[in-house]
Amino acid sequence: MITLHWVYALAGAVFAAFALLGARDRDNPRRWTTAAFWALLATSMWAGDRLGDLGNGVLVLGLIALGALGLGRGDGVVPPEQRQARADRFGNRLFVIALVIPVTALAGTFLFKAAPDWFDAKQATLIALALGVLIAMTAGCLWLRAGALVPLQQGRRLMDCIGWAAILPQMLASLGAVFALAGVGDVVGGIVQQAIPQGSLLGAVIAYALGMALFTMIMGNAFAAFPVMTAAIGVPLLIRTYHGDPAVVCAIGMLAGFCGTLMTPMAANFNLVPAALLELKDKHGVIKRQVGTALPLLIVNIALIYWLAFR
Amino acid sequence: MVLLGIAIIVAGFLLRFHPLLVILASAIVTGLAAGLDPLAILAAFGKAFNDARYVSIIWIVLPVVGLLEANGLQERARGLIAKMRGATVGRFLTFYLILRQMLAAVGLTSVAGHPQTVRPLVAPIAEAAAERQAGDLDDAEREEIKAWAAATDNIGLFFGEDIFLAIGSILLIKGLLEQYGISLEPLQLSVWAIPTAIAALLIHGFRLWRLDRRLTRRRAEGQP
């Protein structure tokens, strides 16, 4: 059966290729740290399950050390005139290949679920996404008459632009696990309970929604904030004392947390990684564009809980 | 005491220390404050890192994006938009916002995303449209348009996905409420994501409309 482990194997191969090509990239002033970083990530993808918890911890320390030493990037950009000439020559073929990945992911999500003996149905989209990458890469090389190394070289160039930020989301998720282990949530919940105004329904609603947004900003993840805030305010006050509809309180409370996700660098995969991927000079450029939507939407969420949950 | 880790994270990000080191410091301090020994902290961190590997597999799309960009994908996007009358960055991104919300609402969250669609398609098309509206863009404006593309993707995803029954956050709510003896069907929860989804579309759509007006007005004023 095809499971997520096949995808990890593929990802390991891609990172290993980035490492090998990176080691040969003489334009990159820090090619050895860069290559070692991607090689460690390839090791994690390939052998993570066999390293044991402590082994993985040491691997993470290695990634942090290399990332802190600094990764570099080389050159390899195709000159604009050449890209324009190729764009004129290949035309809409380029879009067709670009759409292969989302279309395969879409089709695979449904088709793979129909064949549960062959594919791990729970991971259908990620498996289909990986398949889409393989199809698009093969089709691209043949149709655009590119050598097999071209996608890997160009992919490595983009990867080096992102650098160590590529593992930030995974690192923050791991930090969340340590926080959970240390019981950070319970402590925060206790503080919040003391801070809410007594006897005011609107005050309690605001405290819940604002608390969701703020704690999500600190943790980078609404999933981490939700159990804490719901245990501190949602269930005891809004649901039990004021008899709010639990479905409304929780569903919209979670979305108030999502407003916080839009405003924090801690949600690296949504906010910092795209800035690196789009080669923005301002790391917080994406967050700045999101605040103007997130703040009014947070107010809307407070109003919605207040009106809809206590009819 | 365990809150020291949070203080370190906030201070570290504000002072712009190296984020990887900030995360490490926060994990160590939090673990020690909770009375864990250093090896246990390292093991917990390693296990969590290994369990979260799926977060990083998205980078396998980069070779395809790189291949297409080397062959002129962004230039082609520009050429295509140049031929479309009435295509503006605001209208295009609003269209993408709706599409992303609808895909997410039926559970197709990984179909689009920053590496899959924003970098190769959405950002270059948005940039090309804005370029035509404003005449020409300076570097700061080019950055701003790209950031709008990424922001629109996030907003579409966040305020679409909870309409889907089997998304992680809905299942988390259901699981947590069961611990308090409150039993709810996923559908009862996911319908309440709809009002916020509509509000998100209206608010962000309005901001995109204003972006359009700003770009067009700048052209009319004939600024460089």
Taking contacts as CB-CB distances below 8 angstroms, the residues of chain A near B193 are 251-252, 255
Q: What is the mean pLDDT of residues B44-69?
A: 90
Q: Is there a domain that residue A144 lies in?
A: yes
pLDDT (tens place) for every residue of chain A, 311 residues total: 888 899 999 999 999 999 999 999 888 889 999 999 999 999 999 999 999 999 999 999 999 999 999 888 877 788 889 999 998 999 888 889 988 888 888 888 788 888 888 888 778 878 888 999 999 999 999 999 888 899 999 999 989 988 998 898 888 878 888 888 888 878 888 888 887 777 889 999 999 999 999 999 988 888 888 888 888 889 888 999 999 999 999 999 999 999 999 999 989 889 999 999 999 999 999 999 999 999 999 999 999 999 999 98
CA A33 to chain B, closest CA, distance in angstroms equals 15
User: What band does B41 get if pLDDT is binned at 50, 70 and 90?
Assistant: very high
Q: For residue A14, give every residue at least 6 positions away whose Cβ sits within 8 Å of its Cβ, in sequence order, or none.
A: A152, A155, B59, B60, B62, B63
Of A45, A94, A184, the CB nearest to B71: A94
Is-contact A223 A185, C-beta < 8 A? Answer: no
Tell which of B106, B173, B177 to mutate to test the A interface (max A CBs under 10 Å).
B173
pLDDT tens digit sequence for B8-22: 988 888 888 898 999
Structure tokens given for A35: 């290559």
Q: Is there a domain that residue A231 lies in?
A: yes
Is-contact A229 A208, C-beta < 8 A? Answer: yes
Of B56, B68, B182, the CB nearest to A98: B68
Structure tokens given for B201: 């579309």
Question: What is the rounded CA–CA span in Å between residue A213 and residue B163?
Answer: 19
pLDDT tens digit sequence for B135-177: 888 899 999 999 999 999 999 999 998 888 767 788 888 888 8
3-state SS track over chain A: CECHHHHHHHHHHHHHHHHHHHHCCCCCCCHHHHHHHHHHHHHHHHHHHHHHHHHHHHHHHHHHHHHHHCCCCCCCCCCHHHHHHHHHHHCCHHHHHHHHHHHHHHHHHHHHHCCCCCECHHHHHHHHHHHHHHHHHHHHHHHCCCCCHHHHHHHHHHHHHHHHHHHHHHHHHHHHHHHHHHCHHHHHHHHHHHHCCCCCHHHHHHHHHHHHHHHHHHHCCHHHHHHHHHHHHHHHHHHHHCCCCHHHHHHHHHHHHHHHHCCCCCCHHHHHHHHHHCCCCCCCHHHHHHHHHHHHHHHHHHHHHHHHCCC
**What are the helix (H) ranges across B17-164?**
19-33, 38-51, 62-70, 73-83, 89-105, 123-134, 139-161
Taking contacts as CB-CB distances below 8 angstroms, the residues of chain A near B111 are 102, 105-106, 109, 125
Structure tokens given for A100: 């292969």
Taking contacts as CB-CB distances below 8 angstroms, the residues of chain B near A274 are 114, 118, 150, 153-154
CA A200 to chain B, closest CA, distance in angstroms equals 23
Least confident span in A14-18, B24-28, B139-143, B178-182: B178-182
Structure tokens given for A71: 């990764």
Q: Is there a domain that residue A175 lies in?
A: no
Is-contact A87 B73, C-beta < 8 A? Answer: yes
Structure tokens given for B171: 């299942």
Taking contacts as CB-CB distances below 8 angstroms, the residues of chain B near A10 are 57, 60
Domain boundary among A134, A168, A202: A168
The residue segments making up the domain with residue A157 are 4-168
Q: What is the mean pLDDT of residues B204-223?
A: 87
pTM for this predicted structure: 0.84
Same domain for A255 and A279? yes
Q: Is the pLDDT of residue B222 over 90?
A: no
Instruction: Determine, for residues A239 and B182 on separate chains, whether the beta-carbon distance falls below 8 Å.
Output: yes
Same domain for A258 and A163? no
Same domain for A131 and A202? no
The 10 Å Cβ neighbour count of residue A84 is 16
Q: What is the mean pLDDT of residues B72-86?
A: 81
pLDDT at residue number B223: 54
Same domain for A117 and A205? no
Same domain for A147 and A285? no
End-to-end distance of chain B based on CA atoms, in angstroms? Answer: 55
Q: For residue A60, give every residue at least 6 positions away whose Cβ sits within 8 Å of its Cβ, in sequence order, or none.
A: A171, A174, B45, B46, B49
Same domain for A189 and A120? no
The 10 Å Cβ neighbour count of residue B74 is 22
Phi (first) and psi of residue B138, to 5 degrees: -85, 175
Structure tokens given for A167: 């593992």
Instruction: Determine, for residues A184 and B108 on separate chains, whether the beta-carbon distance falls below 8 Å.
Output: no
Taking contacts as CB-CB distances below 8 angstroms, the residues of chain A near B43 are 53-54, 57
CA B35 to chain A, closest CA, distance in angstroms equals 8
User: What band does B55 get if pLDDT is binned at 50, 70 and 90?
Assistant: confident
Q: Is there a domain that residue A154 lies in?
A: yes
Closest C-alpha among A149, A169, A135 to residue A18: A149
Question: What is the rounded CA–CA span in Å between residue B189 and residue B170?
Answer: 7
Of A169, A223, A290, the CB nearest to B169: A223
Beta bridge mates, A119:
A2
Domain boundary among A145, A168, A191: A168
CA B220 to chain A, closest CA, distance in angstroms equals 24
pLDDT at residue number B166: 65
Instruction: Determine, for residues B3 and A14 on separate chains, whether the beta-carbon distance falls below 8 Å.
Output: no
Q: Is there a domain that residue A257 lies in?
A: yes
Strand, coil or helix: B107 = coil
CA B224 to chain A, closest CA, distance in angstroms equals 22
| Count of structural domains, chain A | 2
Instruction: Determine, for residues A301 and B196 on separate chains, whether the beta-carbon distance falls below 8 Å.
Output: yes
Beta bridge mates, A2:
A119
Q: For residue A96, give every residue at least 6 positions away whose Cβ sits within 8 Å of its Cβ, in sequence order, or none.
A: none
Tell me the domain boundaries of chain B: 4-51, 58-221
Of A174, A239, A288, the CB nearest to B45: A174
Question: What is the rounded CA–CA span in Å between residue A14 and residue B63?
Answer: 8
Question: What is the rounded CA–CA span in Å between residue A67 and residue A41?
Answer: 12
What count of CB pairs under 8 Å joins A to B?
A: 403
CA A278 to chain B, closest CA, distance in angstroms equals 6
Taking contacts as CB-CB distances below 8 angstroms, the residues of chain B near A297 are 159, 196, 199-200, 203
Q: Is there a domain that residue A174 lies in?
A: no
Q: Is there a domain that residue A177 lies in?
A: no
Instruction: Determine, for residues A277 and B114 on separate chains, whether the beta-carbon distance falls below 8 Å.
Output: yes
Q: Is the pLDDT of residue B224 over 60?
A: no
Domain boundary among A168, A196, A230: A168
The 10 Å Cβ neighbour count of residue A266 is 27
Q: Is there a domain that residue A229 lies in?
A: yes
Instruction: Determine, for residues A175 and B195 on separate chains, whether the beta-carbon distance falls below 8 Å.
Output: no
Tell which of B111, B127, B142, B153 to mutate to test the A interface (max A CBs under 10 Å).
B111
Taking contacts as CB-CB distances below 8 angstroms, the residues of chain A near B71 are 83, 86-87, 90, 94, 140, 144, 146
Is-contact A250 A308, C-beta < 8 A? Answer: no
Which residue's entry shows tokens 């160039």?
A157
Which residue's entry shows tokens 């923050």?
A172
